[in-house]
């Protein structure tokens, strides 16, 4: 028996769509790290009859196309990568629209979505692909966590933001949600259920997860498929991210309950209270894991307080004027 050939036969054909949208908000070195990690993992896979397809998508109105070409040429040389690579310029497409567009460019059995600012750990790609050997898996997300350094800022974000701390467990388990920066779909599933068209900046994943669950599609998380995510870079992006996070919560909630069902204004207070309560619980339970002592944890707690205060303001403004936040705080 030849294990590499057997495994090659069991792997689905796959494509990876990588948007260049988030490169505006992270250091370019992260994208270079992502490309190097992906290149190594593609080379580690057994040779396949149908080579993988890697699609890079960017909006020519906001991203320098020559820069994209140069970075890909330097870090993802065709002669070093056992895959077919394409770089596609779009016009006016945002984050989720770029992902939907990228999925349409290939006819593979599995569609993988990876962001340009997350860095896969070794084994990420193989773990996602192996998950589809389970026929119940229609969608599988990897584990995304914040990469923190010695600053209070990054340690606070590792504790309170969207993503849980890095989990050393390696199991595959059912879930009801996923993040678009690290997720894979069976092609027929994504053809039926692409990312929805809603006005929010982020939050489409929650709406799509509800739709998948309602239609009996199995959503799983494969914790072996880990990627690290950066903290928001700079004060302006911190403020814009928080304010748009508040706007997203209002718009996504409306998309879930229906446009004609009014949301109670008291939900702003409730969301703020729950966010701070959850942050306090995470700080109390995990502060030492990220290197915070009791004193530094108190100081770092100002960061989620500031973030969720701005988020609440974004919610309030959106109740009054739905498009004000995205005009004042463009992301």
Q: For domain 3-229, give the fold.
A: Spore Coat Polysaccharide Biosynthesis Protein SpsA; Chain A (3.90.550)
Output the 3-class SS for the chain.
CCHHHHHHHHCCCEEEEEECHHHHHCCHHHHHHHHHHHHHHHHHCCCCCCCCEEEEEEECCCCCHHHHHHHHHHHCCHHHCCCEEEEEEECCCCHHHHHHHHHHCCCCCEEEEEECCCEECCCHHHHHHHHCCCCCCCEEEEEEEECCCCCHHHHHHHHHCCCCCCCCCCCEEECCCCCCCEEEEEHHHHHHCCCCCCCCCCCHHHHHHHHHHHCCCCEEEEEEEEEEECCCCCHHHHHHHHHHHHHHHHHHHHHHHCCCCCCCCHHHHHHHHHHHHHHHHHHHHHHHHHCCCHHHHHHHCHHHHHHHHHHHHHHHHHHHCCCHHHHHCCC
The string of pLDDT tens digits covering residues 34-92 is 999 999 999 999 988 899 999 999 999 999 999 999 999 999 988 889 999 999 999 99
Per domain, the residue ranges of the chain are 3-229, 235-328
The answer to which of 3-12, 99-108, 118-127, 279-288 has the lowest mean pLDDT is 3-12
The string of pLDDT tens digits covering residues 124-167 is 999 999 999 999 999 999 999 999 999 999 999 999 999 999 99
């Amino acid at each position: 028996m030849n294990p590499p050939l057997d495994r090659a036969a069991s792997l689905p054909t796959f494509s990876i769509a990588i948007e260049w949208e988030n490169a505006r908000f992270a250091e370019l070195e992260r994208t270079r790290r992502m490309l190097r990690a992906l290149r190594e993992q593609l080379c580690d896979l057994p040779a396949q009859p149908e080579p993988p397809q890697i699609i890079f998508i960017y909006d020519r109105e906001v991203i320098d196309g020559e820069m994209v070409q140069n970075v890909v040429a330097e870090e993802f040389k065709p002669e070093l990568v056992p895959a077919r690579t394409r770089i596609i310029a779009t016009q006016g497409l945002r984050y989720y629209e770029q992902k939907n567009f990228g999925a349409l460019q290939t006819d593979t059995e599995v569609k993988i979505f990876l962001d340009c600012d997350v860095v896969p750990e070794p084994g990420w790609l193989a773990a996602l692909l192996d998950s589809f050997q389970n026929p119940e898996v229609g969608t599988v997300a990897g584990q995304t966590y914040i990469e923190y350094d010695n600053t209070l800022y990054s340690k606070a974000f590792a504790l309170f933001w969207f993503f849980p701390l890095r989990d050393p467990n390696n199991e595959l388990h059912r879930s009801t949600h996923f993040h678009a920066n690290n997720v894979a779909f069976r092609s027929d599933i994504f053809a039926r259920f692409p990312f929805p068209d809603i006005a929010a900046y982020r939050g489409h994943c929650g709406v799509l997860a509800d739709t998948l669950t309602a239609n009996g599609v199995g959503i799983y998380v494969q914790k072996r498929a880990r990627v690290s995510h950066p903290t928001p870079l700079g004060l302006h992006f911190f403020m814009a991210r928080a304010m748009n996070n508040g706007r997203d919560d209002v718009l996504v909630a409306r998309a879930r309950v229906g446009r004609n069902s009014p949301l109670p204004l008291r939900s702003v207070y409730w969301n703020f209270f729950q966010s701070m309560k959850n942050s306090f619980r995470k700080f109390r339970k995990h502060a030492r894991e990220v290197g915070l002592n009791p004193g530094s944890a108190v100081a770092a707690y100002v960061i989620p307080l500031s973030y969720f205060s701005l988020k609440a303001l974004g919610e309030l403004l959106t109740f009054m004027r739905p498009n004000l936040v995205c005009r004042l705080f463009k992301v």
